[in-house]
Chains A and B, each alone.
Chain A
């Protein structure tokens, strides 16, 4: 019993320490952001005269409203379409089980570990030839393609476990495959779909490489790509850079805190399946 209690206290101490290390960078960003703009504060030091105005300044310098709008547009372009295409394919491979499904599934799965850097060069020339460079489509369309392996993999894993008898009985009632899909299987797939939606949202919002290569204008990029540009522009003004970074972090943080339980389960399932 004493041993158990001591173990529990060690555990608690360790946990608190770990949380402190995790939060340290955020705290440092915050404290630095309050120093006078253009100064070079040292370490973690509460400023004598906190400059809350830095956040307003960074908000205007980063043009936050336009940035959020751009990221939202990109997410709206990527996530619904990826969900639809992934579900259709996952349904066919996992439930309809057509001939040749193993081959096509293998082709998708091979893309699961693909580093985006591997195809970024031809992607640049391809997007340029399509006339989409410097538009949001340059990020949206390739991302949908790049998300297909995970989307199909994820939805197939769901549909493989749906009992066939469910479809059989609906068929007897005269439903065709299209009705079967929309009226029975999509509603049943909602938990899997919402987890997938969260993951895709996060990966789109934080996408950096595609944004900096394919789109020059930070205002047409994802949040992450815009932050890269913000760093290039304000990199020498530490307090302003820190304030800007925090602002750019905020939308994801807010959404994460609202949906935290779903996020954590989605990320856990996501990495376990992926």
Chain B
């Protein structure tokens, strides 16, 4: 049985014993009486826990360990203490990648949730029509295809001769046409638009299905009291959708902070470092620049950031009941 073992020798990965093959235990449990002994329960949990420990918990511990060393992945490592962390927050390039991820939240989360709310409340009345059923399927497509494909398709749409510029030309905005992903000032928003496209459908449908659970008599009562649709939206729709909004925000914020696929395909972090995000920076640091310690420090910061953002959202939007 393998456990997350704290490795003593970070500097000699070749001699490090690899964890033994994962053994799965079946429980030939014999129940003694009506109540099952805890031992049996643990036998049921053991296989999942072992795989999880070997391929997730152990790497997490190792990431923390690596982050305290300076290591090129091959030679000996030297103790760096918190030096890598200091660098993550003081090196302008590294810190900029974290800031970029935070800026992406505006596109990955704010646009899909706000626009999704607006769209869902507009189409609420026709939610049962055949058009809406077709729309449900169509709007889910971005969720089903690989993000890599979305990245490729959008790189093409946003290129200097792409459809976006063509459409802008039709409405007389030739002046603003450009290679959206190659321009320092528009590259990050352009990547954000791709993320918004991927997540808008999911948020809209999620919110719409939440709206269908709201008791219609609430709206009737509000109408009787003379409420207009904006007032209805603010005092009935939004509060009732607390849980759904929470889910949308959590999913999309994590997608923004941990973005990788879209950026890798559409800009590779460029131009310059304009669209560099932590996920991509970790990849470059660890596997091309061979700064494993630095990559790991950034990885730890990223994991903490995601948890620090996700937990309060969960807590805030939890059902009060």
Q: Which of A22, A32, A118, A271 has the most CB of B within 10 A?
A: A118
What residues on A are CB-neighbors of B156 within 8 Å? 28-29, 32, 238, 242
Q: Flag whether B180 is at the interface (Cβ < 8 A).
A: no
What residues on A are CB-neighbors of B261 within 8 Å? 208-209, 224
The dominant DSSP class at the A interface is helix
* Contact residues, B28-79 vs A (CB, 8 A): 28-31, 34, 36-45, 47-49, 51-52, 54-60, 62-63, 66, 73
Per-residue 0/1 for A24-59: is the Cβ within 8 Å of any B Cβ (1 yes, 0 no)?
111011001000000011111000000000000000
The dominant DSSP class at the B interface is helix
Q: Evaluate contact between A117 and B260: CB separation under 8 angstroms.
A: yes
What residues on B are CB-neighbors of A14 within 8 Å? 119, 122-123
Residue of B nearest to A108 (CB): B52
A110 CA / B153 CA spacing, docked (Å): 34
Q: Evaluate contact between A44 and B31: CB separation under 8 angstroms.
A: no
A206 CA / B147 CA spacing, docked (Å): 7
Instruction: Sort chain B's interface into a size bin.
Output: 35 or more
Q: Flag whether B192 is at the interface (Cβ < 8 A).
A: no
Q: Evaluate contact between B146 and A208: CB separation under 8 angstroms.
A: yes
What residues on A are CB-neighbors of B139 within 8 Å? 18-19, 22
Q: Flag whether B184 is at the interface (Cβ < 8 A).
A: no
Selected from B17, B136, B166, the residue in CB contact (under 8 A) with A43 is B166
Instruction: Sort chain A's interface into a size bin.
Output: 35 or more
Q: Which of B57, B60, B163, B250 has the most CB of A within 10 A?
A: B163
What residues on A are CB-neighbors of B153 within 8 Å? 25-26, 28-29, 242, 245
Q: Flag whether B143 is at the interface (Cβ < 8 A).
A: yes
Stretch at the interface among B80-88, B103-111, B199-207, B230-238: B199-207
* Contact residues, A231-271 vs B (CB, 8 A): 231, 238, 241-242, 245, 248-249, 252-253, 256-257, 260, 263-264, 267-268, 271
Q: Flag whether B318 is at the interface (Cβ < 8 A).
A: no
What residues on A are CB-neighbors of B119 within 8 Å? 14-15, 18
Q: Which residues in B have some Cβ–Cβ distance to A below 8 Å?
A: 13-14, 16-19, 22, 24, 27-31, 34, 36-45, 47-49, 51-52, 54-60, 62-63, 66, 73, 119, 122-126, 129, 131-132, 134-150, 152-154, 156-157, 161-163, 165-166, 197, 200-202, 204-206, 209, 243-244, 247-248, 250-251, 254, 257-258, 260-261, 264-265, 278-279, 282-283, 286-287, 292, 295-296, 299-300, 302-303, 306-307, 310
Shortest beta-carbon contacts, A-B, top 3: A98-B41, A145-B55, A43-B166
Q: Which residues in A have some Cβ–Cβ distance to B below 8 Å?
A: 4, 7-8, 10-12, 14-16, 18-19, 21-26, 28-29, 32, 40-44, 84-86, 88-89, 91-93, 96-101, 104, 107-108, 110-111, 113-126, 128-131, 141-142, 144-146, 148-149, 151-152, 168, 171-172, 176-178, 180-181, 202, 205-206, 208-209, 213, 223-224, 227-228, 231, 238, 241-242, 245, 248-249, 252-253, 256-257, 260, 263-264, 267-268, 271-272, 274
